[in-house]
Structure 1
Amino acid sequence: MSAEAVKPNIASQVNHLLAQMTLEEKVGQMTQVDFTVIGKPEERHAENPIDQAKLEDAVLRRHVGSIMNTPYTPNNQAQPIATWRRMQETIQAAAARSRLKIPVLYGIDAIHGATYTQNATLFPQAISMAATFNPDLSFKAGEITAREIRASGLLWNFSPVMDIGRQPLWPRLWETYGEDVHLATVMGTRFIEGHQGADFSAADKGLTCLKHYVGYSLPFNGKDRTPAFIGERMLREYFLPTFAAGIKAGAPTVMVNSSEVDGIPGHANRHYLTTVLRDELGFKGFTVSDWQDIQRLYTRDRLAASEKEAVKIAVMAGVDMSMVPFDFSFYDILLELAKSGEVPIARIDEAVGRILTVKYQAGLFNTPKAPIPVEGNFAAPAATATNRQAAHEAIILAKNENHLLPLKKDANILVTGPTANLLSVLNGGWTITWQGDAEHLYPKDKSTVLAALKKQSTGKVTYVGGDRFDDPIDSEKVVAEAKHHDVILLCLGEKPYTETPGNIPSLELDPEQQALADAVLATGKPVILLTFGGRPRIITKVTEKAAAVLLGFLPGMEGGEAAADILYGAYNPDAKLPITYPRDTNAITPYDYKPIESFEQNTYDPLYPFGHGLSYTTFETSQLKVDKPRIGFNENINVSVDVTNTGKIAGKETVLVYLNDVAASVTRPNKQLKAFKKVALEPGETQHLNFTLTPDDLSFIGLDFKRLVEPGDFTVMVGNQSVKFTVSPS
């Protein structure tokens, strides 16, 4: 059910309910609190950790419209399904005793599966899902995630992240679908469609939340929640289209940018929150603040002279619900502002009407039904199989010198490095706990890379490394052991993190890891580099000497098995980079660079470019054509190309269609991805592919900040081929 198509009966019900509500009840609906506000800290492991008195104070006295997050076990860890269900029953039972019986909307971060439910299906993180270039897998991940949170009794998912990741230092890069607008649009949209279906009130569907609107993902210094300096044209060209697509796909909620763009904090930016989001993009759902960010307009940003002024600024800018989250300060202050007339009742009614509309759309006012059965809907074999396939398609083969890979099953392998024997490094943050680093909580039936190799090997697999990421590794022992092995698997990368705890000053590898790599490479044995982590750490010196390179990023709970399958050839790798992999820590240039970035002394020279990814077979594209040499401003143009598997084994290839506007009134990128398709090909097989480019694909943000198509020449590029066409007035 789209948030843009409010049914007349829902609008009538909302208006009828609004007319009955007191000011206190309205302001309560705009208030969202963390679980700690209603929880029992002394019974944090209880089957139902809710403090009934605190719950009734929140729901019956303060009328809160939303609660979020997990019970406060250490680091907010995942709960059993039974606990989640009891919690939701208890909360909604309290709401049912309120005067108007308005249900509570519970929110959770289920960003790569039902993150906070024990033993859920946890997919590759978004950056790795993007590496699959497989929209159908993104759709299925959305379906399965929704089904598993609904089996847990939950409904509202703070996902997907529709920011695009163009600053590799940013510790939330891995929560994005990469650096490209089109790729992020397609993958994010398909996730929403799978998660919500045609009607997100269905028993196995759930609400999504687009985040973090808008411009959050390009902090100048790379640190989380720090300023972005993005001009209006760039914001409209690169950062708004993904959100526009998410709104069109029916996402009913939007979470606001925690930081600031061009000096204006996201929660105070009426231009973006109202003029653009509402008037231009047509969003009809409700906006929710991020964690404590309305208060921070005063405590951090110094935009407001008091917390009271901060609340006024945010609400009047267009924030409908406040993730307060630890108290009722927002409720108390907004009530005072409304009573004094500083915030008009009309603005309160507007916000509450939006919130109630989404609650009606979600079916929360309907007669409560039991959650869908666990059997067949939670961690089902089919879901695990889909997850395994996603992990297979997410791991990028970046180098394979002299066809070292795949290995024979009887190869003697020395495994070393801090990411070889941990599940946490495959998953990253928002996994079981917020930071994802509680290795002891990970399921015992899932395999690390080391464990998966040992299961498949018929040769000798020896491990030299620590039990934890930061344990020292004895390089001398590694070198001594290397003599008795055919090949060395060097596993490097990052420990899990998200948000500000993941801030780093440099993309350089830890000195300890670089030293281990130097020792391993000096043995003269063939070295396979396998990396895991949320961002591209600088591995240039290692890759120069390594015989093979696999870039794992965050392939999820099945990532260990998938990596072993690729190493042994049980799966032919087919992933491609969704970002540009930099050669040096400050060499940050995205693939769609401007002409000036590759002119005279300036060069685009990444370690691996966007779209790079090898296979154990080879592919060739040919016969690139457009259906006509000249089109009008409002016409489509059809592109066709053949792709052939020229190797000896079956494999999948993603055909990427790029476009360049040869000359324009605003400088245009050297190329931009406009279409892609992944196809499976048998040896010698050729497929003929067709793509349609629309006027929107040919457009850009012009001098007046409006989208337009200008006359002139365009170049279509696929593989090493290109073809031109011209746009002219009809």
Structure 2
Amino acid sequence: MTSVTKAAESEAYLKYKDPKLPINRRINDLLGRMTLAEKIGQMAQLDLENLTATTMRDYSIGSILSGGGHVPRLRATAGDWINKVNELQRASLSSRLGIPMIYGVDAVHGHNNVYKATIFPHNVGLGATRDKELVKRIGAATALEVRATGINYAFAPCIAVCRDPRWGRCYESYSEDPNVVIEMTDIILGLQGEPPANARKGVPYLGGRDKVAACAKHFVGDGGTTKGINENNTVIDWHGLLSIHMPAYYHAIIKGVNTVMVSYSSLNGKKMHANRDLVTGFLKNTLKFRGFVISDWQGVDKITDLPHSNYSDSLLAAIQAGIDMVMIPHNHTEFIDILTDHVNNNRIPVSRIDDAVQRILRVKFVMGLFEEPLADQTFVNQLGSQEHRDLAREAVRKSLVLLKNGETSDRPIIPLPKKASRILVAGTHANNLGYQCGGWSLTWQGFSGDNQTIGSTILSGIEEAVDPSTEILYSENPDPAFVKSSNFSYAIVVVGEPPYAETNGDSLNLTIAEPGPSVIADVCGQVKCVVVLVSGRPLVIEPYLPSVDAFVAAWLPGSEAGHGVADVLFGDYGFTGKLSMTWFRTVDQLPMNVGDAHYDPLFPFGFGLSTVPINAGLD
């Protein structure tokens, strides 16, 4: 071989590593060098719990995720995360072609699975703010906290349109109204950065190392399942799908979203993970989405509407449908062997594999991973920073919805006086950081108590807000005789739902968990009281309203709930939140959404009383 030939080969080898070349040229150069095994490895996403560096190197695995609660170690620091991410990234770089991996995490309301991270209100609360600029700032803050741990991919935002609060994922939805959800897709601009004005529609975008790849999910119709049953069937005509569940995806794609995750649910009896007409036909071909499509956690395994279904058949259907990356997350060898067999036996054409890998590589090139694959300490101080906690506090106060404030407008209870002789704070959710954060917080199903991360409980926020001369007594479940005899100036009762996620949150009765109703009855019958409801959705509250002087929907306000709730209860800021979901009277009315012919809510979509701040600037 001549020196000229060697030089030419060397130059050719470097094409996909050359940042000066157009991305499409780099993609094609790299794709042309890949074996079938390397291509299929790129289509796999494995979980941290079931992973070694050797696996990453030897199988050319394309991506890693940390499932809910899967961490390098208990109470892992940002440095621990960076070390683990870089260990696995170096393994990827040591593979034959040195293709870097993407690391994904469920950062759905902040970097919520990481110790000391800022946990923002869940989407149901953010929808009540109607503030897309706020949501964009939350996206930017979340991106910085995710990057602080060396991770570069967030499985957010969820842009489901929750049409039935019985659904256990309703708190992951911004609203029952697609127009509100469309506005909230501006969080993508915060997570990824704003594409230039001349950006081509559907092309993924990332604005720099302080940003992360986003993921619009779950495509499509997951918020419209029958009776709100998680992963169930959504029955809807084409017009309804396009007008209710699809619009936010169109806007997410315009904003350059890098990835789209497919829903567990079915559409008119067809599992979305096997729905070629919508995944390939509509999402890729009609909407011109050019990022990659990823399955949900073991979503391929759940394709059960095929005759004699098994994993091989399900995987065949999913890849044919247009899924590019499969969240396995455990048995990668089975996935690789089966998919290889499908290709070798012409059940899946190589062109379909190439399409998937081109999309995955495009996102990796857009993210700059070939130039800067390793994480460093640049953003470590962003994790749980005071600036982000202040932003979360702002989000809390803007998300709270005041449903009742005295019997008439000229006799309001809120703002509450900071100076009082004695205040009672009661209820299961008043002094429980985990309860106010909800599911997808430190672990998949959330947690109970105050010792698993950093934040302010509602009780601590009240204690800091009131005048030093004011005595505060706290009792989770006080005796009514004690309440009656203690001469309280007023009481604040904080009750709600315990944490849950996904199917564990499905509910047919939507009641406040005991002893919440008992505490309301025992306290509010004895003393002037404000009830603060911590929940992922509207619940049955009509029976309690007559005995309650003021009622606040606090949703799942996150780690900074204490200060944010106190800000508006005591008048430092006014209430501004508006319902983004219809508040029903009884569950027998469900599903019921604004615009329905027989719309008879307890509180309609868009309802929310306002208050005027009286203590602004007085600390």
* Superposed pair shares fold, TM > 0.5: yes
- Two-structure CA RMSD over aligned residues (Å): 2.2
Aligned to 1:607: 602
- Residue 144 of structure 1, aligned match among 135, 138, 141: 141
Q: Percent identity?
A: 33
Contact conserved, 2:273 with 2:318, CA < 8 A, in 1?
A: yes
Per-residue deviation at 1:224?
Answer: 1.5
Does structure 1 residue 347 correspond to structure 2 residue 343? Answer: no
In structure 2, the gaps of 5 or more residues are: 1-18, 195-204
Structure having the larger proportion of residues in helix: 2
Amino acid at match of 1:519: D
- 1:388 Cα offset (Å): 1.4
Q: Distance in 1 between matches of 2:402 and 2:279?
A: 41
Q: What amino acid sits opposite 2:611 in the alignment? A: Y
Matched position secondary structure for 1:398? strand
Which residue of the partner structure matches residue 496 of structure 1?
A: 499
Counterparts in 2 of 1:101 and 1:347: CA distance versus 1, 3 Å: same
Alpha-carbon distance in 2 for matches of 1:436, 1:517: 25
Alignment of structure 1 residues 256-655 onto 2, 5 Å: 256-298=262-304, 301-302=305-306, 305-328=309-332, 329-368=334-373, 370-371=375-376, 373-374=378-379, 377-401=382-406, 402-411=411-420, 412-444=422-454, 446-458=455-467, 459-465=470-476, 473-476=477-480, 479-480=483-484, 483-523=486-526, 525-588=527-590, 590-594=592-596, 597-598=597-598, 604-617=599-612
Corresponding residue number in structure 2 for 1:48: none
Q: Within 5 A, what are the aligned runs for 1:205-244?
A: 205-244=211-250
How far apart are residue 649 of structure 1 and its match? 6.4
Deviation sequence 1:594-621 (CA, Å, 0-9, x none): 4xx23xxxxx22121111111224xxxx
Kept after mapping to 2: 8 A contact 1:203/1:371: no
Superposed CA deviations along residues 661-717 of structure 1, whole A, max 9, x for unmatched, are xxxxxxxxxxxxxxxxxxxxxxxxxxxxxxxxxxxxxxxxxxxxxxxxxxxxxxxxx
Which whole-Å CA distance do the structure 1 matches of 2:74 and 2:510 have between them?
Answer: 29
Structure 1 residue 456: Cα displacement: 2.2
Map 1:673-692 onto structure 2 (within 5 A): none
Distance in 2, matches of 1:281 and 1:107, equals 24
CA apart distance, 1:573:
1.3
* Cα distance, 1:178 vs structure 2: 1.0
2:178 maps to a residue whose letter is V
State the alpha-carbon separation in 2 of the partners of residues 575 and 491 from structure 1: 18
* 1:235-286: CA deviation from partner (whole Å, max 9, x where unpaired): 1110000111111110010000112111000101111101110121111111
Question: 2-side partners of 1:8 and 1:232: how far apart?
Answer: 42
Contact 2:113–2:441 at 8 Å: present in 1 too?
yes
Aligned in 2, Cα 1:407/1:462: closer, same or farther, shift over 3 Å? same
Which residue does the alignment assign to 1:42? none
Amino acid in structure 2 at the alignment position of 1:308: S
The one-letter amino acid of 1:538's match is V
The aligned counterpart of 2:8 is none
What does residue 657 of structure 1 align with?
none
Contact kept in structure 2, 1:508 and 1:585, CA below 8 Å: no
CA distance in structure 2 between the partners assigned to 1:72 and 1:463 by the alignment: 31
Read off the aligned partner of 1:429 and give its amino acid letter. G
Corresponding residue for residue 12 of structure 2: none
Letter of the 1:336 counterpart: D
Task: Tell me whether 1:122 sits opposite 2:119 in the alignment.
Answer: yes
- Cα 1:515–1:378 shift into 2, 3 Å: closer
1:18 match: 31
CA distance, structure 2, for counterparts of residue 570 and residue 123 of structure 1 = 20
Deviations 1:339-397 (A, max 9, x none): 11111111111111111111111111114454352465333332222221111111111
Return the structure number with greater strand share.
1
Unaligned runs of 5+ in 1: 1-5, 39-53, 466-472, 599-603, 618-647, 652-730
- Does the CA-based 8 Å contact 1:70-1:78 persist in structure 2? no
Residues 478 and 520 of structure 1 are in contact (CA less than 8 Å); yes or no, is this contact kept in structure 2?
A: no
Query: Larger deviation: 123-132 or 206-215?
Result: 123-132
Is 1:165 aligned to residue 178 of structure 2?
Answer: no
- After superposition, residues 10-159 of structure 1 pair within 5 angstroms as 10-38=23-51, 54-56=52-54, 58-69=55-66, 79-159=76-156
Aligned equivalents of 2:127 and 2:67: distance in 1? 28
Q: 1:395 to 1:228 in 2, by over 3 A?
A: same
Judged with a 3 Å threshold, the aligned counterparts in structure 2 of structure 1 residues 172 and 71 are, in CA distance, closer, same or farther, namely closer
Aligned-partner Cα distance in 2 for 1:463–1:169: 32
Q: Could you tell me which residue of structure 2 aligns to residue 194 of structure 1? A: 190
Aligned-partner Cα distance in 2 for 1:304–1:159: 34
Larger displacement relative to structure 2 (108-117 or 251-260): 108-117
Distance (Å, rounded) in 2 between the aligned partners of 1:314 and 1:176: 25
Q: 1:303 to 1:496 in 2, by over 3 A?
A: farther
> Partners in 2 of 1:285 and 1:393 — Cα distance?
34
Equivalent AA in structure 2 for residue 605 of structure 1: D
Question: What is the CA-CA distance between 1:522 and the residue it aligns to?
Answer: 2.7
Question: Helix, strand or coil: the match of 1:537?
Answer: coil
1:100 aligned partner, one-letter code: L
For residue 217 of structure 2, what is the amino acid of its counterpart?
K
- How has the CA–CA distance of structure 1 residues 151 and 238 changed in structure 2, closer, same or farther, with 3 Å as cutoff? same
Report deviation, 1:62: 2.0
Is the 2:72–2:81 Cα contact (8 Å) retained in structure 1? no
1:578 deviates by 0.9
SS at match of 2:493: strand
- SS of the aligned residue for 2:494 comes to strand
Give the drift of 1:294.
0.8
Q: Secondary structure at the match of 1:106?
A: strand
Q: Provide the C-alpha distance between the structure 1 equivalents of 2:190 and 2:497, rounded to a whole number of angstroms.
A: 31
* Inter-partner Cα distance in structure 2 for 1:17 and 1:228: 40
How far the C-alpha of 1:490 sits from its partner, in A, is 1.7
How far apart, CA to CA, are the structure 2 residues paired with 1:240 and 1:327?
33
Q: 1:193 to 1:430 in 2, by over 3 A?
A: same
The alpha carbon displacement at 1:437 in A equals 1.2
- Name the CA distance, whole Å, in 1 between partners of 2:549 and 2:79: 49
Structure 1 pair 104/174, CA: closer, same or farther in 2 (3 Å)?
A: same
Map 1:693-704 → 2, pairs under 5 A: none
Q: CA deviation at 1:168?
A: 0.5
Kindly indicate whether residue 251 of structure 2 is the aligned counterpart of residue 254 of structure 1: no
